[in-house]
Amino acid sequence: MSLVPFIGSPKYFGPILHYLRTNSIDIPSGYKLSSMRVEAEFYGIQKIVDHIDFLETEKKNDDNLQRGEYTLTLLVPYLKSLPRPPQ
């Protein structure tokens, strides 16, 4: 086992150390995923990088869905107010 010098952010090293001890990824709320990803890349821990990429993709998908639902909520009353074409 070789030693890796600690030169990163102490805040983000805790979750990385937790992963190295337990093989479990636990990123506390309030931590910036982008900063956590930089630290994981620096230490070469691809599993954490992949996990963060997955979380960021899920968040983007959720944000897009919420924006779509909001747009639909605004659009439906307008569409209902339009005159219906004759049948």
Going along the chain from its start, the domains and CATH numbers come out as: 10-81 (3.30.710.10)
Task: Identify the pLDDT of residue 74.
Answer: 59
Task: Identify the pLDDT of residue 73.
Answer: 59
Task: Identify the pLDDT of residue 46.
Answer: 92
- Banded model confidence at residue 7, pLDDT cuts 50, 70, 90: low
CA 69, 71, 73: angle at the middle one, nearest 5?
A: 70
Distances (CA, A) of 46 to 5, 19, 37, 38: 18, 12, 9, 11
What is the secondary structure of 55-73 as a DSSP string? HHHHHHHHHHHHHHHHHHH
pLDDT digits (tens, 9 = 90+) for 30-81: 888 888 899 889 888 899 899 889 888 888 777 666 665 555 555 666 667 7
- Banded model confidence at residue 13, pLDDT cuts 50, 70, 90: confident
